[in-house]
Chains A and B, each alone.
Chain A
Amino acid sequence: MEKQYIDLYKAHHSLIKQHAASVMNASRDASFALFEKLGFPTTKLENYKYTDLKEVLSPDYGLNFKRLDFPVDPYQAFKCDVPGIHSFLYFVVNDAFYPENNQQNVDLPKEVVICSLKEAAEKYPDLVAKYYGHLSTQKQDGLVAFNGVFAQDGFFMYVPKNVQLDRPVQLVNIMRADVDFMANAHNLIIVEEGAKAQLLVCDHTVDDVRFVSNRVTEVFVAENATYEHYKLENTHIKTTNLSTLLIDQQASSNVLGNVITLHNGLTRNNIEIALNGENCETELCGMVIADKKQQVDNFTAVLHNMPNCHSNELFKYVLDDVSKGAFTGRLYVAKDAQKTRAYQTNRNILLNRTAKIRTKPQLEIYADDVKCSHGATIGQLDEQAMFYMRSRGIPYEEARLLLMFAFTADVIDNIRIPALADRMKMLVEKRLRGELSKCEGCTICQ
């Protein structure tokens, strides 16, 4: 399986480099050597034992090394799930930044840079070189190495010192191709001292082909900065979404991560947040609603490298049919990270016997003066509550829906953009009602 990609790189490395930003090429050969060594992750690896990628990675996927334009007008092709949140709106089609001509974005403060990574690397080479790959090249992970080999572009956002964006930035990733297709994008987000940014990433697919997206996102959150990362996945059942989110948090920064899978095929989210300064606040939460044969594996790590930080992690899954969920919560507290407060919760509802969840807290605590807790539960809907509601005349299906909706409420409550929270409530309710059993804006899933 790896061999075809290894041969491909050997044959086309100059073409790949020619169409990529130079800063990305600097580490490309090293990524290649690492990928040759690691290959794709298999279930033999402790970190990947719950999700088998073999089947989804074996087909032949097209890649677009020459950076040919895909004919698509995202404003036409795509009906946004989250309209009306007054975002600064950007599109990435496969891995290419879509030329921007959006009225909505005219108010973006001039100091803020949002563009393709390639353009940023040409215009601001020093800035990009200062950050690019600093987190990703440290990872001993086959998917990240693969991304380092083949990624040629991505989304770039730079919010300079003390600039506070008062509206969220929305990045819509659209997968679009006529043949089975793979895209490797590398995103870079820099939020400087005292700055504030909210990013909403929406993942969508528009064609009835198999897609693999393998994205790596590096985020650098400087001292006293605030960064909120919302991800809403609503893709079709033939999509494999491999995503690595690496966040570096400096002192007194505040980070919120909220990843929601409403609909998908197979998803693997690697999320790692490193608290590299004192007094960081970190909130990481997520929700999965899956049925049919969907699979979602959230592999998370919160690394308390410095003292006096607070993190809170909450993931909730509602699984039906033969869907499979997995959650890993790695919580690392370094020896000197005293006065750490770190909490983790994973709650799961299995709506029938065929759905499966694997949950694994992984605590590595080397400091002694800490407050840490973790808890995982797997259950069904509360029968007593069901009967109580039915005894008031609420039908079985409706009572079930109310309970499922209530179960997901605290993840939605963590959304700090009120319009997005309202919208998310509506989408989750629709999804739970089965009205969204296919992703919104697509007709591919039955």
Chain B
Amino acid sequence: MLEIKDLHASINGKEILKGLSLSVKPGEIHAIMGPNGSGKSTLSSVITGNPSFEVTQGSIVFESKDLQKMAPEERANEGIFLSFQYPVEIPGVSMVNFMRTAINEQRKYRNLPPISATDFLRIMREKKALVEMDNKLTNRSVNEGFSGGEKKRNEIFQMAMLEPKLAILDETDSGLDIDALRIVANGVNKLKSPENATIVITHYQRLLEYIIPDYVHVLYDGKIVKSGGKELAMELETRGYDWIKQEVVV
């Protein structure tokens, strides 16, 4: 589904990703862990086409399509979704208008007519219930004045609305209390199917108790330096990252 080979990417001339390879198949859950600043968010930005980053080498292929040739909106409409580590506030754009526009653009991309008002409201209601999101939030501007936890919940709500094939969750767990974490994880699990895949970027093993990964990768200094099964996450939890850093140096 997603094939990344020898990916190099930089921002403002500074190389952040230094030869990263990753292969994700339908139905799989991959966890990417690693210390702060190792390039996890950069990877998610590059996959989704953030124009601030420049790919200098390597390839990213999604369902046999070269992503580098595609605008962020095309990638999204092909079924890639990013739950942002830092969701952006957009004053003056209402959640409802934002969501309706996004849904209809996705439908247009798939040659479907715009969604009816009643269908839209029904789906909104269902998906809000799924992430137990407060009704008030959808009446406000996108993320404006949302607490940290509300923003994260809003990301999963949008994911539920858009039903992506590949979801990338960038530290969706950080800043969530245990209840919110459970709700978010529950939402993600309910949306799982054999056809779609998830990349969970996280710092802590905590989230992985709820969303069980098939593979765990350690990203360090712009490269994946170690991959394993879910037991690798446990090991990282108890031993920290220092032993990995030392292995890399050696």
A403 in contact (CB, < 8 A): yes
- Supposing A390-B76, A398-B105 touch, asked if A407 and B92 sit within 8 A by C-beta, the answer is yes
Bound complex: CA of A385 vs CA of B93, how far in Å? Answer: 10
Tell whether, in the assembled complex, residue A393 and residue B77 are in contact, meaning their CB atoms are under 8 Å apart.
yes
Tell whether, in the assembled complex, residue A393 and residue B105 are in contact, meaning their CB atoms are under 8 Å apart.
yes
Question: In the complex, how many angstroms separate the beta carbon of A4 from the nearest chain B beta carbon?
Answer: 49
- Secondary structure of the A contact surface, majority rule: helix
Bound complex: CA of A93 vs CA of B156, how far in Å? Answer: 58
Tell whether, in the assembled complex, residue A402 and residue B71 are in contact, meaning their CB atoms are under 8 Å apart.
no
A390 cross-chain contacts in B, Cβ below 8 A? 49, 71-73, 76
Question: In the complex, how many angstroms separate the beta carbon of A384 from the nearest chain B beta carbon?
Answer: 5
B98 cross-chain contacts in A, Cβ below 8 A? 389, 392, 394, 402
Tell whether, in the assembled complex, residue A392 and residue B76 are in contact, meaning their CB atoms are under 8 Å apart.
yes
B149 in contact (CB, < 8 A): no
Bound complex: CA of A388 vs CA of B144, how far in Å? Answer: 14
| Interface magnitude class on chain A | 20 to 34
**Which of A384, A393, A406, A409 is the most central at the interface, judged by chain B CB atoms within 10 Å of its CB?**
A393
Tell whether, in the assembled complex, residue B91 and residue A406 are in contact, meaning their CB atoms are under 8 Å apart.
yes
**Which of B75, B91, B97 is the most central at the interface, judged by chain A CB atoms within 10 Å of its CB?**
B91
Tell whether, in the assembled complex, residue B105 and residue A410 are in contact, meaning their CB atoms are under 8 Å apart.
no
A391 in contact (CB, < 8 A): yes
Bound complex: CA of A387 vs CA of B50, how far in Å? Answer: 6
B36 in contact (CB, < 8 A): no
Which of B8-16, B82-90, B184-192, B226-234 touches A? B82-90
A-B contact count (CB 8 A): 81
Bound complex: CA of A407 vs CA of B72, how far in Å? Answer: 23
Tell whether, in the assembled complex, residue B84 and residue A393 are in contact, meaning their CB atoms are under 8 Å apart.
no
Tell whether, in the assembled complex, residue B109 and residue A393 are in contact, meaning their CB atoms are under 8 Å apart.
yes
Bound complex: CA of A385 vs CA of B91, how far in Å? Answer: 10
Tell whether, in the assembled complex, residue B105 and residue A394 are in contact, meaning their CB atoms are under 8 Å apart.
yes
Bound complex: CA of A347 vs CA of B82, how far in Å? Answer: 31
B73 cross-chain contacts in A, Cβ below 8 A? 390-391, 393-396, 399
- Supposing A385-B90, A406-B93 touch, asked if A391 and B76 sit within 8 A by C-beta, the answer is yes
Question: In the complex, how many angstroms separate the beta carbon of A345 from the nearest chain B beta carbon?
Answer: 14
Question: In the complex, how many angstroms separate the beta carbon of A33 from the nearest chain B beta carbon?
Answer: 50
Question: In the complex, how many angstroms separate the beta carbon of B241 from the nearest chain A beta carbon?
Answer: 29
Complex: chain A residue closest to B48, CB-CB:
A391
A-facing residues in B49-89 (Cβ within 8 Å)? 49-52, 71-73, 75-77, 81-82, 84, 87-89
Bound complex: CA of A390 vs CA of B82, how far in Å? Answer: 11
A393 cross-chain contacts in B, Cβ below 8 A? 73, 76-77, 102, 105-106, 109, 162
A383 in contact (CB, < 8 A): yes
B23 in contact (CB, < 8 A): no
Bound complex: CA of A398 vs CA of B48, how far in Å? Answer: 18
B-facing residues in A75-102 (Cβ within 8 Å)? none
29 sampled A-B residue pairs with Cβ under 8 A = A383-B52, A387-B50, A387-B72, A388-B87, A388-B88, A390-B71, A390-B72, A390-B76, A392-B76, A392-B102, A392-B158, A393-B73, A393-B76, A393-B102, A393-B105, A393-B106, A393-B109, A394-B101, A394-B102, A395-B73, A395-B105, A398-B101, A402-B90, A402-B97, A405-B92, A405-B93, A406-B93, A409-B92, A410-B92
Binding site for B on A (CB under 8 A): 382-385, 387-396, 398-399, 402-403, 405-407, 409-410
